[in-house]
Amino acid sequence: MLPWWTCFRRWFSRRKPVTEASPPNPEPDSLNETPTSPPEDVFQRSVERLLEDESLTADLVDDAAERLLAWGRDRVWAILNEEVGATEDHPRLVALRRQMRAIARQVGELPPDQQAEALQRLLAEQ
């Protein structure tokens, strides 16, 4: 049996975030316009960096770790939609990983039964 994080990583990397404002795969009206969706390869690599960084979830229980990674994945999608031509090393994505690490450290100090709820509160404030 595979560890939970391997199964989660496989599932997570196939899942596309749901965004309310953006239509699915819009076509540019002219050659000067760009689609509103970020390039899939940049998005994929950015999410993989989140999933491979064990320091983001090391001190968290499974439920809290999954919530943090899902939130991070949605934030990556939003950042790449706002920053046309961004790569996985874009300063906002680096700052996001730093922010996630800080949140994980803060929540990781709490007892395991309080982590998911505390994480949910912190993410709502962001």
Q: What is the pLDDT of residues 99-111, one digit of tens each?
A: 999 999 999 999 9
Q: 47-74 pLDDT, tens per residue?
A: 999 999 888 888 899 999 999 999 999 9
pLDDT of 23 over the 50 cut: no
Q: If you average pLDDT over every residue of the chain, what do you get? A: 79
- pTM recorded for the entire structure: 0.69
Looking at beta carbons, which pairs linking 106-114 to residues 24 or more positions away fall under 8 Å? 107/59, 107/60, 107/64, 107/68, 108/58, 108/59, 108/60, 109/59, 112/61
Instruction: Tell me the domain boundaries of the chain.
Output: 36-125
Contact yes or no for 94/74 (Cβ under 8 A): no
The pLDDT of residue 58 is: 87
CA-to-CA dists, residue 81 to 19, 86, 126, angstroms: 11, 9, 18
